[in-house]
Amino acid sequence: MSIAVAAVIRAPVCLRLLQAVLGLCALLAAWPLSGVWRAAALSGPGPGPGLGLGQLVGGYALGWPGALPSAAGGVFLLALLRRRRKPQVLDISPVGQLRLAVYLEHGGAPSGSGSLVPSVLRLLPGSTLWPSLLVLCLGDAAGRRTQVLVQRGSSCVAFRPLAVACRAIAARSGEE
């Protein structure tokens, strides 16, 4: 049985959407964490000091030292979304050699030599092979490592053959 596979891997859309929601939640959580609500409830019109919104959020308000890491994390996650993920091509030869190529920005054809990832890779022991998600840790002879996330669905059409080939490579390396 041949394990030769060529798969185009794109960034999963649901993962990017989840990252955007998490970034927005972290950014919006900075306001109640800062304690601004408490100050606004105590100084604004209301039934009296110590009653109302200030009492509800006062126990969770950590002040600005607690709110700034939340805001910085949210901004960081949202800034990472602006970085464009290029599609990658993972080629597995019949003997189990892995090659990873990254698509060029304007050309449309994969480029193995212009990418930062070396041409011949091996599957490292830290890889995770689940039924609907592959987290492939790949390394070359020089010791450089790269991770590839492959999710079942529209992000990788050839997910099933790729999963079978990766399991076969992992079984071969376990025997050696």
94 neighbors 3 (Cβ within 8 angstroms): yes
Please report the pLDDT score of residue 118 as a whole number: 42
**What's the gap between Cα 166 and its chain centre?**
20
* pTM of the model as a whole: 0.63
pLDDT at position 30 is 87
* pLDDT of 116: 47
| Confidence at residue 138, expressed as pLDDT on a 0 to 100 scale | 92
Nearest-angstrom CA–CA distance, 21 and 74: 9
Model pLDDT, residue 37: 63
DSSP 10-75: ---HHHHHHHHHHHHHHHHHHHHHHTHHHHHHHHSSSS-TTSSHHHHHTTT---HHHHHHHHHHHH
- The pLDDT, as a whole number, for residue 18 is 92
β-partners of residue 89 are 8, 101
Given a cut of 70, the residues of the chain with pLDDT beneath it are: 1, 37-61, 104-119, 175-176
